Amino acid sequence: MADDLEREQSGAAEEVSVEQQLARTDEPAAAEQARVDADEADAPPTREQAEGESRPLDDAEQELLARLERELGDGIVESADAFGMLVVRVKPDAWRRAAEVSKHELECDYLSFIAGIDWQPAPREGDEAGGDTSSPVQPTEMTFGVAGSAGRMQVFAHVESTKRHWGVTLKTDVDERDPHAESWVATYPGADWHERECWEMFGVAFDGHPSLRHLYLPSEFEGHPLRKDYPLLARIVKPWPGLVDVEGMPGEEGNGASAAAPAADAAQDAPADADKESS
């Protein structure tokens, strides 16, 4: 029943949003885009949608992609659009070249960030996740986002142009067992810290980086915290305090009972903690 209600409400929300978008945008192209946005959002989230086709590229994106293709050739694996932003996946051995091309051919002089993605699904509830039942449940099968991925680990970066006012997100695949990528420091000096962060958080080594050392974490820290198999230790040491507050609302026993069940468990596990939090 709750699901029906939710679907109804989300449907209504989209109708409203389309009207508003149409009313707010003057150009027909933008209105068309808004309609496409809404149509896509209307469909239930599916795996095909994210992996497969995407919206047509706009002029700036096409220009960016054309320049990238001219320089990188078959170094480009896949490209897609994500809400008006071009995402291009390049081969690992074209990663450094991609930076040079971005800087000189795309006129993207500004480095926004370099970071990693771990596409492996997070451990589900229960023992694997250290008894944590409070966090949002993510899908269990491994899916890859816009422009796809060859495996679990990826490195991605965003560069922008302060003159042309455009930007592009570049992704590259990284070997899961021996993760390493080419360093961008020679092209963008600001890559230094971003790559150090990515190295300590994901364990991705950057070839050609002057000094890969810890940035945030103490130098004796072990493990790579942002990988999905690295548990959030705080949740294992102590149950999420917000959990004990979950109680059924007076009028809806059916929903309340199911929601309160994990809460009751948590409360039994750590009554002392719960008291402390509430006081």
Contact code string over 187-226 relative to another protein, x by CB under 8 A: -xxx-xx-------x------------xxxxx------xx
Instruction: Determine the Cα–Cα distance for residues 14 and 141; give it in Å rounded to an integer.
Output: 29
| CB-nearer residue toward another protein: 10 or 62 | 10
Q: How far lies 66's CA from each of 135, 146, 172, 277, in Å?
A: 42, 19, 19, 57
Tell me which residue of 224, 211, 106 sits closest to 158, measured CA to CA: 106
Shortest Å distance, C-beta 73 to another protein: 25
Write out the two tokens for 83: 């809400």
| CB-nearer residue toward another protein: 6 or 275 | 6
Exposure of 250 in the CB half-sphere (CA atoms within 13 A): 0
φ, ψ (nearest 5 deg) of residue 173 = -85, 150
Residue 5 contacts another protein per CB under 8 A: yes
Q: Which DSSP string do the residues of 60-95 spell out, in sequence order?
A: HHHHHHHHHHHHHGGGEEEEEEETTEEEEEE-GGGH
Task: Please list every residue from 131 through 170 that binds another protein, using CB under 8 A.
Answer: 132, 134-139, 143, 145-146, 156, 158, 162, 165, 169
Using CB under 8 A, list all residues that contact another protein. 2, 5-7, 9-10, 12-14, 16-17, 20-21, 24, 37-38, 40-42, 44-47, 49-50, 82-85, 87, 109-113, 115, 117-118, 122, 132, 134-139, 143, 145-146, 156, 158, 162, 165, 169, 188-190, 192-193, 201, 214-218, 225-226, 228, 232, 235
